[in-house]
Every structure is written in C-alpha cells, then in structure tokens.
Amino acid sequence: MSNTCHESMTDEHRRHFTVTPPNLGESKHNPTTAWNCYLRELSKQKKYQEALTVYRHMLRSSFFPNTFTFPVLLKSCALLSLPLTGSQLHAHVIRTGSQPDPYTHSSLISMYSKSSLPHFARKVFDEQSLNLTISYNAMISGYSSNSIFPEAVNIFREMRREMRVSVNSVTMLGLVSGITLPNHLNIGACLHACAFTLGFDSDLSVANSFLTMYVKCGEVEYARQLFDEIPVKDLITWNAMISGYAQNGHARRVLEIYNEMKKVNGVKPDPVTLLGVLCSCANLGAQGIGREVERKIEQFGFHSNSFLMNALINMYARCGNLVRAREVFDCMDEKKKSVVSWTAIIGGYGIHGEGEIAVELFDEMVRSGVRPDRTVFVTVLSACSHAGLTEKGLEYFDEMERKFGLQPGPEHYSCLVDLLGRAGRLKEAMNQIESMKVKPDGAVWGALLGACKIHRNVELAEVAFQHVIELEPTNIGYYVLLSNVYSDAKNLDGILRVRVMMRDRKLRKDPGISYLEYKGKMHLFYSGDTNHPQSKEIYRMLGELENLVKEIHQPDHKCQGRSEEQLTGAGVHSEKLAIAFGLLNTRSGTDITVMKNLRVCVDCHVFIKLVSKIVDRQFIVRDATRFHHFRNGVCSCKDYW
C-alpha cells in the first residue's frame, strides 16, 4: 500500500472501498498523485470496478486526472469490457490536452481493441502525428487479438520503415499471438526466423508465444521441439506445453510432462496447469490421477477457482463417477455456477443416459436465472436423443430461437437430425436438413448416416455418405458406418466398395483400444493383444466366459458388427480382454469401468450384458459417444443396435 495520502479523501469516501485508501495525514505530494497511487494499488489487486468508482469520487472532489491516471482507468475498462465508460474517459483525455501522452495513447488503443472495436483503436492510432513503439505495439496486438492479421502485418511493416521507432520483443508477442490457424503456419515460421535474426528468440516470453503458436497451428511435435530447446523454462512454458497436449488430445503426454514438471525445483503448478491435467484425465478416464489433482486443488487453496471446479465436474462425469461430479457441482457457490458449470453436469447425466435428470437440471438452470448459450443446447439436445426423449428435444430446439433468441447452427441441426433419426423419423430428419438456413456440415449428414445404420436404410445411407464424404473425406468413422450398413443388409459388394475407397485414399481404421485403471495404472488392450503379462489367464477366463454365455444365449443376429472385424482383420476384441482383466483382478462386488476409444461393437455389447448376468457385477463401459451401464443382463442404453 502506498504511503502517500490526501486530506480530502474523507471517511465518506472510504466507506465505499474495500481496500483501505491512503492514510490521512501530512502529505507533501501533489494531491492527484495520492489518488493515482491508490488507483494503481486497486488495479494491482484486480479491483477494476472499484478503481472506476474511485475515479468518480475523485472527479466529484474536484481533482483533475493527469497522465498517470488514465492508463490505469483505461485498463480497467478494457478488462471489464466497458467500452462506453472507456469512450467517456477518451473524451476526458481529449479535454485535458490536444495530444495524449504516449502511455495514455497506447492505453486508449488497447482499450478499444480489447472491447472488440479495432476501428476505433485505429482512429486513435491515426490521430497521433508521431507514434512511438508502445502505440505501434498496442495497435499490432489489437489487430492480432481481433483476428485481423493482415492489418497487424501492415502496421509491423510500417513500423520497420519508420527509423524513429524500434521493434522490441513486445512487438513480436503481439504479432505471434495473432497466428492461431494451421494455414498461418508459414507466416508463423517466417516470423520465428525473423525473431531469431533480431535476437528476440532468447526472450522467454517470446519463446513461449512461439510455442503456443505452434500448438494452435496443430504442430504439437514442433512445439515440443521448441520446448526442449528452451534452457530455462518458467511456469508459462510448462503450462503452454501441457495445455497444448491437452487441447490436441495427447492426454498421456500431458500426464508424462506433468510428472516431469513436478520434479523441477522452483516450479509449482498453478490453476492453469491443473486445468490441463484434469482435462486430460477426463479424456483418458483416469480418475485416479484426477483425484490426486483434486487433492492438490485443496492443498493449494484453488478451491474458489470456478474454471477448476467445472473441469473437476467434467472429469468425474467422464470417468464414470457421476455421484462425485454431482457433489462437486452441488458444493459450488451458487454465484459461481456459470453456464459452463451447468453444461458440465448436464452433459455428465447426458452421457450416462440419464436424460430425465439432464432435462430437469436444464430447466432448473433457466429458473435460476442463468442464460443458456449455444453450447448447453448442444449438450441438452444430445442428452435427449440418447435417452429417447424425442418430443422434449424437439421442444428445446424450438425454444432455442423463440424463447432465447439463439440461432441454431449446424451443431444443433446435427443433434436435431440425431434426435429424429434415432426415433426412426428419417424422412423428417431429411426435411430438416433441406430446410436449413446454414450450410449443413459433416456432422449433420453424419448424424443422418448414423440413424440409417440403426434403422437399416441403405438408400438414404448412401445419400448421406455421399454428402458427408465430400465434407470430411478423411473421417474414417463414416466409412466404417457405411460398411456396417452394408453388412447388416448382407451387401458384400458394398462392403468391398468401401474397403477399396479406403484403400485408395490410404485410410486405415484406427485400432480399437480398451483400457482400465487398476491400482493407479492404466492397462491397455488392443484387439487380439497377447502382450499383457496376464495374457494367458485372460484368455483362459474369456474361454470360460464364452462357454457360459453360449449356454444361455443363442445368437440370433450373427451377422451384425462383423464388418468391423473384416476391416481390421482383428482377433478377440479389446473390450473383452479388458473385461476379463477386470474380473481377474478385482474383488467381487466392485464395479469394473472400461474405456474404449471407438464404439463398443455389437457382439461385445451382447457379450458384456450376458456376463453381467452370470457374474453379478456391474460393468461400466465408456465408448466414443457415451456410457453403458451393464447390470444383471441389462444395459442402460435404450437404442443399441
């Protein structure tokens, strides 16, 4: 806290403040300076709203803002996204002098840019006769953050032509942060070379920003190379790499690197680190590690971070522990429950097939005054379609625009098509696609294709496939789906055609992988796998189970699900191996939770159902789209084909 003060800051003022204002007393400073110090202190403590209030008090007490007052206030407006207040301040600035000082000038540019008003920012930029480096930097990063990259480059070129101003590392940061798409990679690499020649690459923050750039361009391996080349890493370096792996689905790599980080002295994980780790636990289904992270959250006192709580809810739900997910959700401070928190818990019930609860929660959310967004609609619509709540889903789709003013996008139409399609209303689904105002994407046609698989409609499947493959030619899942449609129709030619198509396009079906967490370790199984140390026992157990299953079940739909095996030429399916491993190693009475990267195959689905009857255990299987709870010969999912 500053030691400066001013007489006229009365108790009347103080009553409004949470941070103690400077002491009254014998200040020899310029009165405005005391206010400025106070404002800076508030800004440091991220009390931006309060800083603006203090400013109003300041004006009311007839103190005039100066050069050091405005940047702090403008920053507050930028971070609170209050462009109106910001432009009022702009007017005040103009009133105090003809040309703002460099700091105020760059703060104005930054304020407009952060309020997504880059044109206003540019106007401020152009009005100044002689711009300095900081104004150039503000303008460049403004264009970058508003994804107007070409203009950022233009300003950069202009800057390099100007002899008066020099480029510095902040200039690089601004430029690099604008490169967020794979097709910008070339420019990014040029910039990297440029930074190297200018000697900025040794600046850690610049190196970190290049690392992030490679991640955003989808070049994780390249990012890793850069990561390894950085001699002294800081927390941001680690976090960038961790969330880089997390966002690109390399969950195992995240855990590896997190362990490495823990060994380094002087670097402590912060909320961003743990967020990346939790996200990966959710993808992997690694509940054990997720629990460890939760303990760390407690330990470090990050409990009030709502980002982390949302990630925790998501992690537990996706690891099959709905009960704990719900506990975390219920324990959250009501005020901190954002639409994201609701989405996480609604989605959790959705993937577990508990559509009714998902729907109730959605209504409760609306009642509690949280405005639904587009994402939560995707979640609730899919929850409805998994649970067969067709009418309810249609109702929501309708309300979306009518009641909440949200335009449905392709992602909502794919849910709608899925909803109608699963219910067998293929014709209506097709009509919906045709009536779409936005262009259907691959997922929309993919949902139709999926519905055709369930309801065995070869003709429509071919139409949907044609469309989907045009939009997503390398998505292997759709080839497999069509092949399965042919397989159900016993259309061998069709299967062959798909196989040829895949060969021509050099596409190979991903291997199916099943795994489960046991004693804190992941045990991984491929189909036909014999590498596991317990392999012999696993196969012996499976043999026994197959025999028992045969006694109580005569397969009446042998042909189904075969084509996947034909595409891979695989042996015993991975999910069976994982189930057998679980039975061998866990006590009776405990649930067995298995994760599978693709969909559970139909044969295995039947098999697991029957096994759950024989051994009296609950099996929880997570596949690519949802959870299956097998108990006593029944599965929780209502629509498995």
**Closest to 446 in 3D by CA, of 409, 483, 471, 420:** 471
Strand-pair partners of 619: 592, 630
Among residues 234, 399, 546, 565, the one that binds DNA under rule CB under 7 A? 234
Site string for DNA, 541-580 (x = CB under 7 A): ----------------------------------------
- Burial class of residue 368 in the structure, from the number of CB atoms within 10 Å of its CB (0-12 exposed, 13-18 middle, 19+ buried): exposed
Distance of alpha carbon 448 from alpha carbon 164, whole angstroms = 61
- Residues in region 432-451 near DNA by CB under 7 A: 441-443, 446-447, 449-450
Residue 67 near residue 96 (C-beta atoms within 8 A): no
Number of residues that bind DNA (CB under 7 A): 75
And the tokens for 157?
Answer: 């070129």
CB of residue 95 vs DNA: minimum separation in angstroms? 20
Among residues 50, 219, 354, 418, the one that binds DNA under rule CB under 7 A? 418
Phi then psi for residue 307, to 5 deg, are: -55, -45
HSE on the CB side for 2, CA within 13 Å?
21
**Closest to 313 in 3D by CA, of 269, 360, 273, 347:** 347
- Residues in region 254-293 near DNA by CB under 7 A: 270-273, 275-276, 279, 282
CB nearer DNA, residue 35 or residue 342: 342
Distance of alpha carbon 475 from alpha carbon 452, whole angstroms = 18
Under the criterion CB under 7 A, does residue 36 sit at the interface with DNA?
Answer: no
- Residues in region 590-629 near DNA by CB under 7 A: 625-626
Among residues 2, 8, 67, 177, the one that binds DNA under rule CB under 7 A? 177
- Residues in region 132-171 near DNA by CB under 7 A: 133-134, 137-138, 141, 168, 170
Count the Cβ atoms, other than its own, within 10 Å of residue 483: 24
Residue 40 near residue 72 (C-beta atoms within 8 A): yes
Q: Which pairing describes strands 592-596 and 619-622: parallel, antiparallel, or unpaired?
A: parallel
Compute CA 590 distance to the chain's CA centroid, rounded to the nearest angstrom: 32
Under the criterion CB under 7 A, does residue 67 sit at the interface with DNA?
Answer: no
CB of residue 267 vs DNA: minimum separation in angstroms? 10
Task: Specify the DSSP class assigned to residue 248.
Answer: T
Site string for DNA, 196-225 (x = CB under 7 A): --------xx--xx--x-------------
CB nearer DNA, residue 420 or residue 583: 420
CB nearer DNA, residue 165 or residue 580: 165
Torsion angle (degrees, nearest 10) of CA 231, 233, 237, 239: 130
Piece of the chain touching DNA by CB under 7 A; list 230-238, 356-364, 387-395, 580-588? 230-238
CB nearer DNA, residue 378 or residue 495: 378
Residue 146 near residue 118 (C-beta atoms within 8 A): yes
- Residues in region 375-414 near DNA by CB under 7 A: 375-376, 378-379, 382, 385-386, 411-412, 414
CB of residue 137 vs DNA: minimum separation in angstroms? 4
And the tokens for 159?
Answer: 């800057």
Site string for DNA, 505-534 (x = CB under 7 A): ------------------------------
Count the Cβ atoms, other than its own, within 10 Å of residue 195: 24
Piece of the chain touching DNA by CB under 7 A; list 49-57, 119-127, 146-154, 173-181? 173-181
Under the criterion CB under 7 A, does residue 300 sit at the interface with DNA?
Answer: no
CB of residue 92 vs DNA: minimum separation in angstroms? 17
Residue 20 near residue 53 (C-beta atoms within 8 A): no
Among residues 115, 341, 432, 568, the one that binds DNA under rule CB under 7 A? 341
According to DSSP H, which parts of 199-265 are helical?
204-216, 220-229, 235-247, 251-263
Under the criterion CB under 7 A, does residue 54 sit at the interface with DNA?
Answer: no
CB nearer DNA, residue 383 or residue 549: 383
